[in-house]
Chain A
């Protein structure tokens, strides 16, 4: 019985979102930081959305984490803030991933390091951003594709031999196939990444 209560208690603690460092200008979103706080946030059609690495009972919970996946067949790499949630959605019903498709291969941390200071135009020509509703981990399809916007990679700094702080800001306008507009504005992210966050996806 005691073990059962302990198990339930731990599940409850795990289900609660971690606190985050608020933005003074928009306290419902995490502020922009460069310290590996493991979160991302944006306004999606003015609703506060955030992704946050939490970990679960076994130390693995992919929702809210960042995944950088190289797709050799298409020769692009996706940077995905996987399955974030809306801050005002207490039931965690609406899950959305924010995804960037960047040309070329990013397969290790030294590749990521070379991105610092770069700005990608998200006009859909070479680099595209988008949203995926109810995403799966290794999917690279988008439900809404950007036609305008920017991704700024602001900080790629090794915090140890195996970990790197990866931080930046973004914003874009994206349309679905049904011409529904999604405005993803005032985005920011700050993750501590390792090789565990990078993978090559062979289809």
Chain B
């Protein structure tokens, strides 16, 4: 499915949700990215924190007092790696947007848990000794995963939440040229798991 078509469908769902029992919210989060690597690239993949803003719609299904809600979100994220290569500094940056389709269940007054799927598109930048350079085509631009999380609402318009995101696709796929010109097998590298905590502000409340 083309990204533009996906965005259009998601926007349509959002409009339907708002016209029923929808709620708009803004999340201000801190993201901890944990990357797993198994290659010899020498990337420094230790966990880093970054800011993660998010906007979302959530709506009840079936009846207005249901404990189940569905939602759609759009969030911004960054990831980055560093390495020293023969005394030359090398930084790789990724910037992307993720669309989340989520389901939430209210387990008790003010408490909810949620789960969902995430689809992300991202771009990459490759800096060598401070100079931005193109790199032969090795970076992926799409990732998808699932999320599990929950939240507590001390106030009607505010929620404190946390999530774990499990991403499934490698960020880098490459072959190396061996000493005598032979190709290595395709190497798939750098998988991401992220943990986030956020502060949510509900802007428009339910119609109920």
What is the CB-to-nearest-CB distance from A173 to chain B, in angstroms, rounded to a whole number? 9
Contact-size category for B: 20 to 34
Q: Is the interface of A mostly helix, strand, loop or mixed?
A: strand
Complex contacts, B135 vs chain A, CB 8 Å: 21-24, 27, 31
Residue in contact with B136 in the complex, picked from A19, A28, A33, A185, CB distance below 8 Å: A33
Once the chains are docked, how many angstroms separate the CA of A58 from the CA of B54?
Answer: 54
Complex contacts, A131 vs chain B, CB 8 Å: none
Interface string of B77-111 (1 = CB under 8 A from A): 00000000110101000000000000000000000
Once the chains are docked, how many angstroms separate the CA of A28 from the CA of B135?
Answer: 11
A-B pair number, CB within 8 angstroms: 84
Decide: B174 and A24 in contact? CB cutoff 8 A: yes
What is the CB-to-nearest-CB distance from B44 to chain A, in angstroms, rounded to a whole number? 15
**A84 is an interface residue with CB less than 8 A from chain B:** no
**B177 is an interface residue with CB less than 8 A from chain A:** yes
Interface string of A162-203 (1 = CB under 8 A from B): 000000111110000000000101111000000000000000
Residue in contact with B138 in the complex, picked from A20, A24, A171, A185, CB distance below 8 Å: A24
Decide: A25 and B182 in contact? CB cutoff 8 A: no
What is the CB-to-nearest-CB distance from A21 to chain B, in angstroms, rounded to a whole number? 5
Residue in chain B with minimal CB distance to A23: B136
Complex contacts, B128 vs chain A, CB 8 Å: 22, 27
Residue in chain B with minimal CB distance to A168: B181
Decide: A149 and B41 in contact? CB cutoff 8 A: no
Which residues of chain B in 172-188 are interfacial with respect to chain A, using CB atoms and an 8 Å cutoff? 172, 174-183
**B137 is an interface residue with CB less than 8 A from chain A:** yes
Once the chains are docked, how many angstroms separate the CA of A5 from the CA of B29?
Answer: 53
Once the chains are docked, how many angstroms separate the CA of A186 from the CA of B177?
Answer: 5
A sample of 11 cross-chain residue pairs with beta-carbon separation below 8 angstroms, ordered by A number, consists of: A19-B133, A21-B133, A24-B135, A24-B174, A25-B40, A25-B176, A28-B86, A31-B135, A150-B180, A171-B182, A186-B176
* A contact set with B: CB distance below 8 Å: 19-28, 30-33, 148-152, 168-172, 183, 185-188
Given A31-B136, A32-B136, A152-B181, 5 other A-B contacts at CB below 8 A?
A19-B134, A22-B133, A22-B136, A23-B177, A26-B85
Closest 8 CB pairs of A and B: A31-B136, A171-B180, A169-B181, A185-B179, A170-B181, A171-B181, A21-B136, A186-B177
